[in-house]
Amino acid sequence: MSSMKRLFALLSLFAVSMALATPAAKSRPSATRPSNKKTAPARDRSAEAIHLNNLGAAYMNQQQFKRALQLF
């Protein structure tokens, strides 16, 4: 029974520490590179590429291969 109490105490301590660490990690400022105007167009191109790739995959699932090929 003593080992069960130790296990429960250890798991409780772990759960509390994880609950306290999660909000602290979110509130800490992240070490990211400074934003500049050069990264915005790259993000737009990346988002557009992802969107077109998803559309192409969707058309392939619908067996519309000619239409899908135009999007890749």
Please indicate, yes or no, if residue 31 is contained in any of the structural domains: no
Distance CA 65, CA 56 (A): 8
Please indicate, yes or no, if residue 62 is contained in any of the structural domains: yes
Distance CA 54, CA 44 (A): 15
- 7-38, pLDDT tens digit by residue? 888 888 788 887 877 765 566 565 565 555 55
Structural domain of residue 48, as residue ranges? Answer: 44-71
Distance CA 47, CA 33 (A): 19
Please indicate, yes or no, if residue 22 is contained in any of the structural domains: no
- 40-61, pLDDT tens digit by residue? 577 788 888 888 888 888 888 8
* Tokens standing for residue 3: 């080992």
> What is the count of structural domains for the chain?
1
